[in-house]
Amino acid sequence: MKRSASLFFLLQAFVLNVLLTLSLEAQMVKFTEPISEEKVINADIKVGSIHLVLKSHQSPQVYQYHSKSNLPVQLSTNYFVKNANGYLTINTRQKHASARHKMIGWELFGDISHDDHSIAPLNLSLTDSLPLKLNISVGSSNSEFDLSGLKLSKLNMNIGACNSKVVFSRKNPITLKHMHVSTGASQLFLTGLGHANFDKFTFNGGITDVTMDFEGKIKKKAKIDITIDAGNMSILIPKDVGIKLNHSSHFFSNVSLPEDFQKSKGIYYSKNYGKTKGSLIMFLKSGAGSVDISWKN
C-alpha cells in the first residue's frame, strides 16, 4: 500500500513538473518603447541566425518586440532621442544554441519544420507614424520583412546566407530616396517594389537566386542599378512602365528580354518608353548565370 502511494506521488510530481515546464516555455517576452518628442527615427537592426519577422504597426510605440521566452536567441534593444531624432539599435543576444543552429545557412537547405526552438519567429514591428531611416543586417536565417505602411526615406539591407522575403503591399507614403539591398549566398524574393516609391534602387548580389517583382503604381522616373556575380534573377515589370536598359554581361551570363524591346546605340528600350507616366532607368551588370526581364501579366 505504501509502495503504491509513493508511486502515485512520484507520478503526480512528474506531471506537475512537465506542466510547469510547458507553461514556462509558452511564456512570451515583450518589449515596447513609447513615442515622445522625436520627429524621425533612425533604426539599426543587426541580427544573426534567427527567424525574424518584421512589419509595421499603428500603435503609439516606436517599436514592439515579442517572442517565446525559451528561444536560444533574443533581441537586445536600445533607444534614445536627441534633437528630435530617435535612435533605435537592435542586436542579437545569444542565450544558448543547438549544434544545428550554429551551422551557417542551415535553414536554407533543409527542412525547417523540425521542433527546434531556434526556428520559432521573433516578431518585431516599427511605427508607421514617423519617417524612418532603416538599416538591416541579417546573417543566416529565414526572414520576412513586410515593409508595407512604413514611412521609409532610406533603406539599406545587408542579407547573408538567407531565405528571405521583402514585401511592399501598399504605397510608401513618403519618397524613399535610396533603397540599397546586398546579398550573399541567398534566395531572395522582393515583391511590390512599385509601392516602395523609391528614387534610386541599388542591388548587389553574390551567388543568389533573386526574384524582383515591381508590382505597384510607378508614376515617376526612377533609377535602378543591379550587379549580380552569379546565379539567377527574375525581374517582373508592369506593362504600364517604360524601360530603358543599359547592361554589360560576362561571357557566361545570359540576359533575356521581352520581344518588344528595341536596341539603339547599345541601349535597350521598351516599345512604350517615353509614352508612360512611370519609367525605370536600369543599369545591369551580370557575371555567370541568367537574368530574365519580363512583363508582369
Between the two ends of the chain, the Cα-to-Cα distance in Å is 77
Q: Which three cell numbers stand for residue 50?
A: 534567427
Per-residue pLDDT averaged across 28-57, rounded?
89
pLDDT value at position 103?
Answer: 38
102 or 184, higher pLDDT: 184
Q: Which of 216, 215, 204, 167 is nearest to 284 (CA)?
A: 204
Percent of the chain with pLDDT over 90: 60
pTM of the model as a whole:
0.82
- Going by pLDDT thresholds of 50, 70 and 90, the confidence category of residue 11 is low
Residue 120 reports pLDDT greater than 70: no
Instruction: Tell me what pLDDT residue 115 has.
Output: 39
DSSP assignment string, 108-130: HHS-TTS--GGGSEEEEEEESSS
Q: pLDDT tens for residues 166-215?
A: 999 999 999 999 999 999 888 999 999 999 999 999 999 988 899 999 99
Is the pLDDT higher at 2 or at 291? 291
Lowest model confidence (mean pLDDT) among 54-58, 92-96, 277-281, 287-291 = 92-96
Q: Is 3 helix (H, G, I), strand (E, B) or coil?
A: helix
Q: Give me the numbers of helices (H) and strands (E) for the chain, helices first please.
A: 2, 20
Per mean pLDDT, which range of 55-64, 73-82, 229-238, 262-271 is the poorest?
73-82
Question: CA of 261: how far to CAs of 32, 171, 222, 294, in Å?
Answer: 51, 28, 19, 10
Higher per-residue confidence, 37 vs 289: 37
Q: Is 18 helix (H, G, I), strand (E, B) or coil?
A: helix
Average pLDDT over residues 222-234: 94
